Amino acid sequence: MDSPVKPENDDKEYIRLRMIIFWKMNCKKKHNNAMRHVMRYSVLLFLFMFALPAAGARADGMPIENGRFAGGPVTVLTVPAGELDALPSLGKLYLTDEQKEQLLEDAGVAPSFLWIFDLRKGENECTCNAANRGLRISEDQVEVPHEYLMSDEDVEKMLDSLEN
């Protein structure tokens, strides 16, 4: 675009015309590019606002499929009839020597007790600092995910570190 002819008697009009030409040649293009970037990144920000909380929600509980643990190897322990029914919700199941030996052989760790979650009732909570979980899968069976097994000493250390 050509430079406007300077009016002889109106310097303000000349300056205004020069500013318009400058804006059209330079700023308008930059403004459009900037707006394009703002729109692009605002769409991404909008998508992340919904994707990130959903990812956190999925990561909280144990991976359960069809009422069974789906996150790795497990050992299924048989418990005497009625013993699981006598436990309160999220109760402690003290293991027998035979059950400890089976866990030691299968998983390499044998705690003295398990916290029992009843998958038939949908009990499944956060796995942050989870240790020694048993998942009730029937009237007399508990599924023990190896991933959450720890020795009694390691559980004590973990609890001490959480208190400090």
HEC profile for the chain? CCCCCCCCCCHHHHHHHHHHHHHHHHHHHHHHHHHHHHHHHHHHHHHHHHHHHHHHHHHCCCCEECCEECCCCEEEEECCCCCCCCCCCCCEEECCHHHHHHHHHHHCCCCCEEEEEEHHHCCCCCCCCCCCEEEECCCCEEEEEHHHCCCHHHHHHHHHHHHC
- Record the pTM: 0.59
Is the model's pLDDT at 58 over the cut of 50?
no
Task: Work out the angle at residue 125's Cα, subtended by the Cα atoms of residues 160 and 110, and round it to the nearest 5 degrees.
Answer: 55
**Higher pLDDT pick, 31 / 108:** 108
Residue 40 pLDDT: 66
- Taking residues 77-86, what's their average pLDDT? 85
Confidence tier at 56 by pLDDT (50, 70, 90): very low
pLDDT at 57 over 50: no
CA distance 50 to 53: 6
The pLDDT of residue 101 is 94
